[in-house]
Amino acid sequence: MSKYIFITGGVVSALGKGIAASAIGSLLEAKGLRISIQKLDPYINIDPGTLSPFEHGEVYVTDDGCETDLDLGHYERFINQKTSIFNNYTTGKIYHNVITKERRGDYLGNTVQVVPHITDEIRQAIKSAVTFTTDILIVEIGGTVGDIESLPFLEAIRQFRYDVGRENVIYIHLTLVPYIKTAGELKTKPTQHSVKDLREIGIQPDILLCRSEMPLPVEMKKKIAIHCNTDIDAVISALDVETVYEVPIQYKLENLDKIIEKKLCLDNRPPDLSTWQDVVYKIKNPKKETKIAIVGKYVGLKDAYKSLTEALSHGGIANNARVRLIWVDSEEVEARGADRLLSDVDGILVPGGFGSRGIEGKIEAAKYARLKKVPYFGICLGMQCAVIEFSRNVCNLSANSVEFDPDTKHPVIYLMESWYNHRTNKIEKRSSESQKGGTMRLGAYPCNLTPNTKAFEAYSINKISERHRHRYEFNNSYREILTQKGMVISGVSPDNELVEIIELDDHPWFLGCQFHPEFKSRPIDPHPLFRAFIEASLKAQRALFI
Q: Mind listing the pLDDT tens digit for each residue in 272-313?
A: 999 999 999 999 999 999 999 999 998 888 889 999 999 999
Q: pLDDT confidence of 416, banded at 50, 70, 90?
A: low
pLDDT of residue 422: 39
> What are the two backbone dihedrals, phi and then psi, of residue 169, each rounded to the nearest 5 degrees?
-135, 135
Sequential DSSP letters for 275-317: HHHHHHHHHHS-SEEEEEEEEES-TTSGGGGHHHHHHHHHHHH
Which one is catalytic: 56, 74, 507, 516? 516
Is the pLDDT assigned to residue 339 strictly greater than 90? yes
Q: Per residue in 21-35, pLDDT tens? A: 999 999 999 999 999
Which one is catalytic: 121, 389, 500, 518? 518
Is the pLDDT assigned to residue 423 strictly greater than 80? no
DSSP H or E run through 412: strand 410-415
When pLDDT is averaged across residues 153-164 and rounded to a whole number, the result is: 96
pLDDT of residue 141: 96
Q: pLDDT confidence of 432, banded at 50, 70, 90?
A: very low
- Cα-based torsion angle of the residue sequence 89, 95, 101, 102 in order, rounded to the nearest 10 degrees: 170
Q: pLDDT confidence of 55, banded at 50, 70, 90?
A: confident
CA distance 186 to 536: 47
Q: Which residues contact 540 (CB under 8 A, 6 or more apart)?
A: 346, 347, 373, 374, 375, 508, 509
Is the pLDDT assigned to residue 425 strictly greater than 90? no
Q: pLDDT confidence of 417, banded at 50, 70, 90?
A: low
Q: Per residue in 73-116, pLDDT tens? A: 999 999 988 999 999 999 999 999 999 999 999 999 899 999 99
List, by residue range, all CATH 3.40.50.880 domains of the chain.
286-544
Q: pLDDT confidence of 544, banded at 50, 70, 90?
A: low
List, by residue range, all CATH 3.40.50.300 domains of the chain.
3-278
Is the pLDDT assigned to residue 356 strictly greater than 90? no
Q: Per residue in 500-536, pLDDT tens? A: 999 999 999 999 999 999 999 999 999 999 999 999 9
Q: pLDDT confidence of 426, banded at 50, 70, 90?
A: very low
CA distance 292 to 312: 9
Range of lowest pLDDT (124-133, 280-289, 414-423): 414-423
When pLDDT is averaged across residues 450-454 and rounded to a whole number, the result is: 96
Q: Is 380 a catalytic residue?
A: yes
Is the pLDDT assigned to residue 428 strictly greater than 50? no
Q: Per residue in 232-265, pLDDT tens? A: 999 999 998 999 999 999 999 999 999 999 999 9
Yes or no: say if 248 and 276 are a contact pair by the CB < 8 Å rule.
yes
Q: Is 422 a catalytic residue?
A: no
- pTM given for the model: 0.92
Which one is catalytic: 66, 210, 228, 380? 380
Residue 178: asked if its preceding bond is cis (omega within 30°), the reply is: no
Q: What is the CATH number of domain 286-544?
A: 3.40.50.880
Q: Compute the mean pLDDT over every residue in the chain, rounded to the nearest whole number.
A: 92
Is the pLDDT assigned to residue 430 strictly greater than 90? no
Q: Residue 374: beta bridge partners?
A: none
DSSP H or E run through 501: strand 499-504
pLDDT of residue 323: 97
Is the pLDDT assigned to residue 435 strictly greater than 60? no
Q: Which residues contact 397 (CB under 8 A, 6 or more apart)?
A: 391, 409, 410, 412, 478, 481
pLDDT of residue 436: 39
pLDDT of residue 56: 75
Q: Is 518 a catalytic residue?
A: yes
At the top level of CATH, which class does the domain 3-278 belong to?
Answer: alpha beta
Yes or no: say if 25 and 75 are a contact pair by the CB < 8 Å rule.
yes
pLDDT of residue 362: 96
